[in-house]
Structures are given as C-alpha cells and as structure tokens.
Amino acid sequence: MGAYGERVAVRHLLDQGMVLLARNWRCPSGEIDAILRDRDTVVFVEVKTRRGEGFGSPASAVGPAKVARLRRLAAQWLAETGIHSGEVRFDVVEVRTRRAGAAAVEHLRGAF
C-alpha cells in the first residue's frame, strides 16, 4: 500500500508542475520518499498512506523523531548531490485510499 501511495503522491506533485529529482532515496540513516523541485525550491516529501481514519490523519504519523530524521537526511542529500537551492521545504502528502475510485490526496506544503 505504501508504494501505491507514493506513486499517487508523486503523480499529483508532477501534475502540479514540480520536477522529480529522486524517489525513494536511501542511505544507511533512512529514506526520503520523494525529492522534487518546485521552481527554485527543493522539496523533501514524506508520503503517508491510510485506508481509514482509525489511526488518525496520515500526517499525524510524522512525529518529532521522524521530522528530525528527515531534516538530517535532507542535509545529507544536499551535501551528496551538490545541489544548493535558495530554498528548502518539507511537505507531507496524505493519500487516503477508497474502496472504489481514485484515492484522495492532500498536499501539506511546508508541513514542518
């Protein structure tokens, strides 16, 4: 289900005019779901996919430890790639699957 949510989220972001730089970037410290460019801003994206609301909103799963890890990973990615952006942003994309029809997508810009 996570891979499906990531595909839906990335397609949504591309449809908004963003450019994909990396998907599922991994290093020994963790993974970043997607990294995109939104004009002059490098955007690090965490995708959260849920079938229902039983565990709260998808974004509520991005707690302080996850935020800190994503910030460290983003700094590492920027250092490794040599990409120096004027702006960096951290977004969360919530994907809610449905029994029938397309998934609902909510893009939280600058989530943390």
Sign of the C-alpha dihedral computed for residues 16, 17, 23 and 28 taken in this order: negative
Model pLDDT, residue 52: 66
pLDDT for 99 equals 84
Among 53, 46, 23, 54, residue whose Cα is nearest residue 94: 46
The domain segmentation of the chain, as residue ranges, is 2-108
The pTM assigned to this predicted structure is 0.90
CA angle 25, 13, 4 (to 5 degrees): 65
Query: In a structure prediction context, what are the per-residue pLDDT tens digits for the chain, which is 112 residues long?
Result: 789 999 999 999 999 999 999 999 999 999 999 999 999 999 999 999 988 666 667 777 888 999 999 999 999 999 999 987 689 999 999 999 988 889 999 999 999 9
Tell me the C-alpha distance between 48 and 38, whole Å. 20
Q: Which residues contact 58 (CB under 8 A, 6 or more apart)?
A: 48, 49, 50, 92, 94, 95, 96
- For residue 53, the model assigns a pLDDT of 65
pLDDT of residue 55: 66
As its CATH architecture, domain 2-108 has 3-Layer(aba) Sandwich (3.40)
Q: Over the range 92-110, which residues count as b (16 or more CB within 10 Å of their CB) and which as e?
A: bbbbbbeeeeebebeebee
Amino acid 2: pLDDT = 82
Cβ neighbours of 18 (radius 10 Å): 20
